[in-house]
Structure 1
């Protein structure tokens, strides 16, 4: 195979900080090359330089042996490089075809030729065997189909090199299988793929070669045959990962009881439809499901952020239905929210102030009407050390932290409350493998102490690794329940897609 891309000694500095330190990689025609690394390892910066979004401090890029320099993404596109971003850039009210051809629309007599656009997109669908409905409004497409629209968009622009940034982050397991099949098909048709991901099992399934980054440097450059998931993880983290702490057998009584809860807005279909569940002391209950199937509304109802139309919520025997957030937290609930910026922090607050949220009433941190800052600062500094939170100081704005570091601060804060029950929504979103390992350990330890965790995660591997029982939500209802011993990825995937437990066994 001929070499299509070479990046040589790529360095990017922001002041004295070195984001990328003399990184080199090459990409052949028809190859899938995975770039893996922890949060902040330098993956995104490297790809931003390749796509013309950042100018390198030093280093060279060669396309088909010719040296190139990009000042913006248009330069990259002209050199047949396309990028599918983690957060899709589609117009929801446009059709798939309109989104794909935008910027390069076929015209007739000076006007947009919608029929020709549909024909061109249908040709792409057939050529690359990527299932998309050209005339479907994007807002009505599944997340998986929206991603395929993005891929067809870069193919329509003529891309031979396609960068995929965390492409499976929002997909169901079934959709992930379809994505990996698409990636392989594109490579077999001569396209060159750069896959940015932290999901090492997917890397081992689809990649031909792998570059591992840690702290802005290359720690490994291997083929799939030369490595394993464990070896890649070690190269990413710099140490061996540990097995999770064993579970202590628990048979606790219910700490959280939800009975026949319905949430409905005006005359629309219920967001939650007669939901009942319980979480016992000494138990982690995982909720799986494609985003948008009622998980968010369920957590908002439990934590007091949304009202219940009918049904009841009891926490430690107390009726907390439609109570205030403060009352519910005082009753023994802590909450790692799914959106760290919207619910978990105030961007203009300092690191110290973000950590203080919920602790300002605790007697050990108060003296009459004044806060006792010294003991609290000691606590926050212990979190920073334990979770390896990268912050310039306690006075740094929370909004200046990377997403992963802010997530670690919120997780540390909520675990520190040591409440009888914790809602953990996407607890490891955006964090690196080392921090993920620590968070998982902390959740198991909480469970083993006789406390309870309600876990919601889009990472099915996380749900299966941590949960004692798994509930699957689909269109605002509990589609099925299974215990740890009987749960399989296939069975959960079927329920997530709207099937039933009987189907999953066939």
Structure 2
């Protein structure tokens, strides 16, 4: 390795899966105490590259990789993540690896527990030492404080909202004593802009302390703000490695996708047109007991055929609205759907009535990870609507219609550009963005009359993000399907919604047209009413 300040040097790294070339001749460096922003569309090779660096088993099991990696002055080839951890590399994956039944502190100190001697262990050996709980909570609070967030170290992870779980994952890596490099894979995907700002400041403090960071994000504004250097992957190759200073978002987007991307696409207001349409759903005094996203008293009218956006800061209740209506968390109030009362706390009834939901928790709620793509896409339609089934003997015997399942899956693989080997590939083996597309296809296959979509572009790159939003717009236009989008990204909501409702303190604080000045949205998110806003 050359005599530079480089902590990590990747030289001529390549990787194939079953003859499919996913990485080719990758070269770049990460200097000590610096933040490298790694960007690229879904399928560009980011996850595979990080799996190589972190010694994930899938790399070894598929024949290893080509090229060389130098870390802290030594050539390395990690056989498993334990090797990488011992060398000083920590990784926060896009999907969580927390134990729900453990507390925040127990998760942060997992496998790093501090112990104390007992009378028995003094006689029989260290293996019988007891867990030093006060010390564990002290260490956990110290790691949490570095992030600048408010988390109770004694709370159970199962009671935490998605955003808080992400901070717990990061705190666990920060807490490692020998950490020299932290890989953050989409750490802000589940965070609001305020939470993301807190994390970016924490990253900068860590870098100043000498910790290097590889920061993977589809939020390009964050990449340009916090990175010292930007590395762009496209089709498995490094197309750009450049200092971040002076680089704008539009340029990074163009490098990623190889074309110009409109980053300021705000939808023109159609409020007057929407107001003349019938009410498909009326929400009256809805409350939802969703930990971290409590809904206190939401009343809302949703018009037939509109795209309604719901935004707001984390913890204010926006995610609780669809989760409550769909029966995933205890709820009360009244829901009138197509003129009839809809029973709450009953997911099956909501789906039978023509309402579908794409959850923000795609792995926990949305997918059958160990089943194929075609099975995932058609499963709900098969179970609830008895589609994709062939009846025999007057319906006494029923078999799956594999041909129809394949046709349906192939249709959405093509329309949503799901990057996969074929429809039989397991959902677990898809990238995060492609898993999200499968969740969307699963909802489309139900032919819903009203579709809730929560964080539809979480973990999806800027090019695929527009594809997904375009797919939602197309589905809305062609089927007159009412769509309610819940998102942490205001600009995303403004680009697709006919109206945008802002949730604050568990209530709808106001509704604005998408082309209203951005500062008015900011005021509503802060709990300040403006003269022009109102429930339109």
Once the two structures are TM-superposed, the CA of residue 184 in structure 1 deviates from its matched residue by 1.3
Once the two structures are TM-superposed, the CA of residue 186 in structure 1 deviates from its matched residue by 1.8
In the alignment, structure 1 residue 71 sits paired with structure 2 residue 79: yes
2:414 to 385, 389, 397: 385
CA distance in 2, matches of 1:165, 1:269: 23
Once the two structures are TM-superposed, the CA of residue 286 in structure 1 deviates from its matched residue by 1.4
The 8 Å contact of residues 279 and 453 in structure 1, kept in 2 or not, is answered as no
The 8 Å contact of residues 494 and 501 in structure 1, kept in 2 or not, is answered as yes
Give a deviation string over 1:222-244, Cα, whole Å, max 9, x none.
22236432232233223333575
Q: 1:493 to 1:358 in 2, by over 3 A?
A: farther
The 8 Å contact of residues 266 and 496 in structure 2, kept in 1 or not, is answered as no
- Find the counterpart in structure 1 of residue 125 from structure 2: none
- Find the counterpart in structure 2 of residue 258 from structure 1: 282
How many residues get paired?
497
In the alignment, structure 1 residue 424 sits paired with structure 2 residue 446: no
Give a deviation string over 1:356-390, Cα, whole Å, max 9, x none.
45487789x99997999878855643432222223
Give a deviation string over 1:313-369, Cα, whole Å, max 9, x none.
222x34444597677567654543444456555556654454445487789x99997
- Find the counterpart in structure 2 of residue 214 from structure 1: 234
CA distance in 1, matches of 2:347, 2:5: 60
Secondary structure at the residue paired with 2:436? helix
Secondary structure at the residue paired with 2:44? coil
CA distance in 1, matches of 2:72, 2:221: 31
In the alignment, structure 1 residue 204 sits paired with structure 2 residue 221: no
1:440 to 441, 450, 469: 469
Once the two structures are TM-superposed, the CA of residue 180 in structure 1 deviates from its matched residue by 0.8
2:50 to 44, 47, 50: 47
CA distance in 2, matches of 1:421, 1:120: 47
1:336 to 358, 363, 376: 358
Once the two structures are TM-superposed, the CA of residue 474 in structure 1 deviates from its matched residue by 5.0
In the alignment, structure 1 residue 21 sits paired with structure 2 residue 24: yes
Give a deviation string over 1:482-505, Cα, whole Å, max 9, x none.
44344637955873xxx5225999
The 8 Å contact of residues 262 and 309 in structure 1, kept in 2 or not, is answered as yes
Q: 1:73 to 1:455 in 2, by over 3 A?
A: same
Could you say what the CA RMSD is over the residues aligned between the two structures, in angstroms?
4.4
Judge which range, 446-455 or 166-175, deviates more: 446-455
Once the two structures are TM-superposed, the CA of residue 176 in structure 1 deviates from its matched residue by 0.8
In the alignment, structure 1 residue 456 sits paired with structure 2 residue 491: no
Once the two structures are TM-superposed, the CA of residue 21 in structure 1 deviates from its matched residue by 2.2
TM-score by length of 2: 0.76
CA distance in 1, matches of 2:12, 2:344: 58
The 8 Å contact of residues 257 and 313 in structure 1, kept in 2 or not, is answered as yes
Summarize the alignment of residues 261-276 of structure 1 with structure 2, pairs less than 5 Å apart: 261-262=285-286, 272-276=295-299
Unaligned runs of 5+ in 1: none
CA distance in 2, matches of 1:325, 1:197: 33
CA distance in 1, matches of 2:5, 2:225: 23
